[in-house]
Amino acid sequence: MAARTSPFDLSKCARPNILQLQPYRCARDDYKDDGTNVLLDANENAYGPGLVLNSEGALQADGAGVSTGASKPEIDFLGLNRYPDPHQIELKQLFCNLRNTHHHTPKTLRPENLFVGVGSDEAIDALLRCFCAPGKDKILTCPPTYGMYSVSAQVNDVAIVKVPLDAANGFHLQPDKVNEALSADPSIKLAYICSPGNPTANLIRKEDILAVLQHPTWNGVVAVDEAYIDFADEGASLAEWVTEWPNLVVMQTLSKAFGLAGIRLGVAYSSPPIAKLLNSLKAPYNISSPTSALATAALSAPNMAVMRHYRTQIVAQRDRLLRELPLIPGVGRFLGGHAANFLLVQILDKDGSPSNATATATYEAMAEKRGVVVRFRGKELGCEGSLRITVGTEEEVTTFLRELRGVLAGLHAN
């Protein structure tokens, strides 16, 4: 049979900004995981979710002890022939309870302040679609920062204005320069601020965010991404502050401290009018019933205690890395802060200088020969020669420190 011809030309049919996209890649794309690797690259919670199972592997709704002889799970995942709840009021109230600390305001978050999405990424994209006209409006980002802000902007044909963090002084936000950019370009509708930052692990100062919120003329939204906020000091979250500022959005996720990356659930706190916009444009049933059930269980008081127990262990291992990593020859200084479940650290060459070549060789040798996967971050602004290391379990951290010492000794000996 003769080959069929068609006038279809993908390069001319698809949107140019979409054709330029590259698929998301992670360190594990380069190294096949056979189940034995130590995975310290993706900032997951190595201790797992803060959920309690009974003797039959069924989820305990209240985190209570083992239920023996139960013939039915405490949380029933049946009834999947029905669409899930499109509003998630009960779940939203639990998120409100979590963040109504009154550290920042006497006002109280309510379900009408919330949007629940498929991870924080849905909220990032939804904000762009709400506020930015394709080919016309812009967003502002502060590199080095989370890559999905730029990816979502490109998908939506929205330009990006970049105001770097102050790499010379701990990767702090530079509010004066941010405000200068906002004043110069009214087409900027969104400013994404990652706090604690990724890959910097630095908590952005409240007063610096306040300075942007107080811009006298800019008509736009400040979106603070708090994916790692539960590894920072108690009361660090600004979520409840959205009751004070009509243009503040605070995004969070259950993927990190709660150890539930696999259920893909994130939340955005905002003023009720912005939350209404986000809830109006989402798919009607964007959160599945199993996801909602698992999230609700995770936010119950007993399971919150489990999460906090795991978090305490992660913080202890983070402190251990802060003490012991500098004792390894070839390890330089920490960049940024330590308000997350990962650290950004420089790797030095034989002359004692931060080196992308040495950091890359270390990353590759650790994964290929030692079964320990971390993340190379040396190509990002101000991160020359750096690796981002997720804090693992005590055993994983012991393995990582041992293998890193061996790899650096071998590289410096050659």
What pLDDT digit, counting tens, does each position of 101-156 carry?
Answer: 999 999 999 999 999 999 999 999 999 988 888 999 999 999 999 999 999 999 99
**Residue 339: pLDDT over 60:** yes
Residue 63 has what pLDDT? 45
Nearest to 115 by CA among 354, 287, 318: 287
Tokens of 181: 């950019």
* Cβ contact 50:304 at 8 Å: yes
Give me the percent of the chain exceeding a pLDDT of 70. 82
| pLDDT of 97 | 97
In this prediction, residues 394-403 reach a mean pLDDT of: 97
| pLDDT of 254 above 90 | yes
- Give per-residue pLDDT as tens, 193-246: 999 999 999 999 999 999 999 998 998 999 999 999 999 999 999 999 999 999
Q: Which is more confidently placed, 19 or 186? A: 186
Does residue 30 surpass a pLDDT of 50? yes
Task: Determine the average pLDDT of the residues in 297-302.
Answer: 92
Q: Which residue has the tokens 């998120």?
A: 95
Cβ atoms of 42 and 390 within 8 Å: the answer is yes
Cis peptide before 144 (omega within 30 of 0): yes
Contact 317, 40 (CB under 8 A): no
- As given in the structure block, the two tokens for residue 228 are 């790692």
pLDDT over 50 (residue 352): yes
- Asked if residue 16 has pLDDT above 80, the reply is no
| pLDDT value of residue 284 | 81
Give helix 175-184 / helix 206-213 axis angle, nearest 10°: 20
CA distance 140 to 127: 13
The model's confidence at residue 71, banded by pLDDT at 50, 70 and 90, is very low
Q: Quick check: 74 pLDDT over 60?
A: no
Q: How much is the average pLDDT of 276-295?
A: 88
Measured CA angle at 133 (ends 250, 227), to 5 deg: 20
Instruction: Name the fold adopted by 89-299.
Output: Aspartate Aminotransferase; domain 2 (3.40.640)
Backbone angles phi, psi at 379, to 5 degrees: -90, -5
85 close to 75: Cβ distance less than 8 angstroms: no
Count of all residues that appear for the chain in the document: 414
Q: Which CATH architecture fits 13-42+304-413?
A: Alpha-Beta Complex (3.90)
**Residue range 338-342: mean pLDDT, rounded:** 97
Cite the beta strand spans of 112-175 per DSSP E.
114-117, 138-141, 159-162
Residue 158: predicted pLDDT? 95
Reported confidence tier of residue 17, pLDDT bands at 50, 70, 90: low
Residue 117 contacts residue 282 (beta carbons within 8 Å) = yes
Distance of CA 273 to the CA centre of its chain: 25
What is the overall mean pLDDT for the chain?
A: 87
Domain residue ranges in the chain: 13-42+304-413, 89-299
Res 387 pLDDT > 90: yes
3-state secondary structure of 7: coil
Alpha-carbon gap, residue 284 to 116, rounded angstroms? 12
When mean pLDDT is compared across 67-71, 266-270, 320-324, the lowest value belongs to 67-71
Kindly give, in sequence order, each residue whose CB lies less than 8 Å from that of residue 120, ignoring residues fewer than 6 positions away. Answer: 225, 227, 251, 252, 253, 255, 266, 268
User: What pLDDT does residue 250 have?
Assistant: 97
* Pick from 90-99, 222-231, 283-292, 299-308: least confident: 283-292
Residue 321 scores a pLDDT above 80: yes
pLDDT in tens, 48-58: 666 655 554 45
